[in-house]
Amino acid sequence: MTANLAPLGSGLPYAGIRVVEFTHMVMGPTCGMVLGDLGAEVIKVEPIAGDNTRRLLGAGAGFFPLFNRNKKSIALDLHRPEGKEAALRLIASADVVSENFKPSTMRNLGLDYGSLAALNERLVYVSHKGFLPGPYEHRTALDEVVQMMGGLAYMTGRPGDPLRAGSSVNDIMGGLFGAMGVMAALAQREKTGKGQEVQSALFENNIFLVAQHMMQFAVTGQPAAPMPGRISAWGIYDVFTVQDGEQIFLAVVSDTQWAVFCEAFGFADLKADPRLKTNNDRVRSRDWMMPLLRARLAGHRAAELAALFERQGLPFAPITRPEELFDDPHLNATGGLAPLTLDDGRETRVPLLPLTLNGERPGVRLQPPRVGEHTEELLAGIGYTRAQIAALLADHVIGN
């Protein structure tokens, strides 16, 4: 398998598509990252001082370098007529505009869909919002807000202790659905010659994530219990604490796997026990079966259990911290991590899109850009002269 396909360029499916994005944080930038990874030319419009996401600390420190690879940066003061004119000329050359600001922000700038579609009916315009149009659309949404109101925090935490998921799941997936909408709109434009507005939203994305639990209630009449307190559908589907306090997730989810598991560990008594004959029997017997299994497996090392489960084709997983994934042998052997240069010049690696095209991973063609790194190049490409660019720089309408 070929890894980190930076040289592919024109061989990628969205090569030749130009995207101008007015985005920050995670949701909007994720959409642009996906389109950029798949070959589109993605131009990030930033204020002169740069996207505030660049300066986040703590849990937000990785947002900018992750979600802004394969993009160019142009720094414009959109509140100055000359800056807005530059943006409009850039948009005139684009196939897609992407944004994730409040509707009033883009409308006040004259960069909303209605204003731009009047200038170019082929334009695809994607908005990333907290809520799709409706009673909630005026609210300010965050990933954590919609996780709480959309049932995901309830399902993730222990009973009585709602807990947000350990990643920006709605922001990231909302951006993915935004990119999917753009792809659909571009495909339809091939048939009609006309663009359209696409909307993606955090709340509706969260509802899609918990739809399986909604439908569980619809089918069974029983409310879904939070994941830590649920009645498992499988007899063995748990984290085990073993020798030296190590932990490992082990699963035995079929009757065939149960037989393999018992034979591998020499648990002939459990295999023969009629109370444990079928998976449903084992689910009903978990109250006494699981303490027994925990005691029998407690003397093993996690690595020993992992090796045995792998040999037998049984599901297992080490309990891994995110920083440990940089050394994951599978990711490194399959090109799942690509070289990336951080804003301060340090070298690292970044996970790629979880897909292959003809057996190859779309890679990093452009490093996360410096603020305004491509301003002069992009303005020259839409007809600005050197003298005009110099004047805009001197007047602080643009940055580089």
List the one residue out of 319, 154, 156 whose CA is nearest residue 228.
156
User: Does 380 have pLDDT greater than 60?
Assistant: yes
In this structure, are strands 247-252 and 316-318 parallel, antiparallel, or unpaired?
antiparallel
- 133-174 per-position pLDDT tens digit: 999 999 999 999 999 999 999 999 999 999 999 999 999 999
Identify the band that residue 272 occupies on the pLDDT scale cut at 50, 70 and 90. Answer: very high
Give the distance, in angstroms, between the CA of residue 103 and the centroid of all CA atoms in the same chain: 23
Placement of tokens 């009757």 in the chain: 255
Taking residues 304-325, report their average pLDDT. Answer: 97
List the one residue out of 52, 99, 101, 45 whose CA is nearest residue 75.
45
- What was the pLDDT predicted at 279? 96
Dist CA 190 CA 188 (whole Å): 5
Tell me, letter by letter, the H, E, C secondary structure of the chain: CCCCCCCCHHHCCCCCCEEEEECCCCHHHHHHHHHHHCCCEEEEEECCCCCHHHHCCHHHCCHHHHHCCCEEEEEECCCCHHHHHHHHHHHHCCCEEEECCCHHHHHHCCCCHHHHHCCCCCCEEEEEECCCCCCCCCCCCCHHHHHHHCCHHHHHCECCECCCCCCCHHHHHHHHHHHHHHHHHHHHHHHHCCCCEEEEEHHHHHHHHCHHHHHHHHHHCCCCCCHHHCCCCCCEEEEEECHHHCEEEEEECCHHHHHHHHHHHCCHHHHHCHHHCCHHHHHHCHHHHHHHHHHHHCCCCHHHHHHHHHHHCCCEEECCCHHHHHHCHHHHHCCCEEEEECCCCCEEEEECCCCCECCECCCCCCCCCCCCCCHHHHHHHCCCCHHHHHHHHHCCCEEC
User: Does 120 have pLDDT greater than 50?
Assistant: yes
List the one residue out of 228, 174, 187 whose CA is nearest residue 95.
187
> Which of 1-15, 39-53, 207-221, 233-247 is predicted with the least confidence, judged by mean pLDDT?
1-15
- 169-197 per-position pLDDT tens digit: 999 999 999 999 999 999 999 999 999 99
Whether 306 contacts 316, CB under 8 Å: yes
- What was the pLDDT predicted at 10? 67
Whether 40 contacts 18, CB under 8 Å: yes
Type of residue at 153: A
Identify the band that residue 3 occupies on the pLDDT scale cut at 50, 70 and 90. Answer: very low
End-to-end CA distance of the chain: 38
- 62-90 per-position pLDDT tens digit: 999 999 999 999 999 999 999 999 999 99
What torsion, rounded to 10 degrees, do the Cα atoms 88, 89, 90, 96 define?
60
232-322, what's its fold? formyl-coa transferase, domain 3 (3.30.1540)
Taking residues 266-283, report their average pLDDT. Answer: 97
Domain extents in the chain: 9-210+328-399, 232-322
- What was the pLDDT predicted at 357? 96
Tokens at residue 219, please?
């089918």
Taking the CA atoms of 126, 22, 129 and 34 in sequence, report the sign of the dihedral they define.
positive
User: Does 352 have pLDDT greater than 50?
Assistant: yes
Higher pLDDT, 300 or 5: 300
Provide the β-strand partners of residue 357.
360
Architecture of domain 9-210+328-399: 3-Layer(aba) Sandwich (3.40)
In percent, the amount of the chain with pLDDT more than 70 equals: 98
Dist CA 225 CA 92 (whole Å): 51
Whether 386 contacts 82, CB under 8 Å: no
